[in-house]
Amino acid sequence: MNWPGVAVLLLAHAGFSFKALAMDKHRRHLLHDRSLFWQHSRVVELGGWLSLGAALLVSLKGYGAGVGLILLFGILSMAALAVILQVSYRPKSVKLVSLFSLGSGITGLLW
């Protein structure tokens, strides 16, 4: 996997992490009963969708439509599994790792 693949993986991980933080159940678990206003929750959810959309664009630009979509769905599955395991077993690290993934994914876009 080369740099576009790594950027897709990091952006997908960040997107799924933000989507998990936008859900009430996971947010209470991850943020230790600190609730967000519904406006903030929508912004976090929108950030998740934008990150997943950026992963789609990077995949299509880097590999074309045929291979890019297949690679994207495989990487989305890996990123979703990583977020599920992280939320289940290491919930305190979700915020830090998701911000690192987003920053590294954006850096990979610019590389």
Residue 30: the pLDDT is 66
Residue 20: the pLDDT is 85
Q: Which parts of the chain are beta strand (E)?
A: none
The sign of the torsion formed by the CA atoms of 26, 32, 35, 36 equals negative
Distance CA 50, CA 109 (A): 14
Q: Give the tens place of pLDDT for each residue, 31-45.
A: 665 665 656 778 888
pTM of the model: 0.84
Give the mean pLDDT per block of 10 residues along the chain (111 residues): 83 89 72 63 87 92 92 94 87 78 75 65
Residue 39: the pLDDT is 66
The sign of the torsion formed by the CA atoms of 99, 15, 6, 107 equals negative
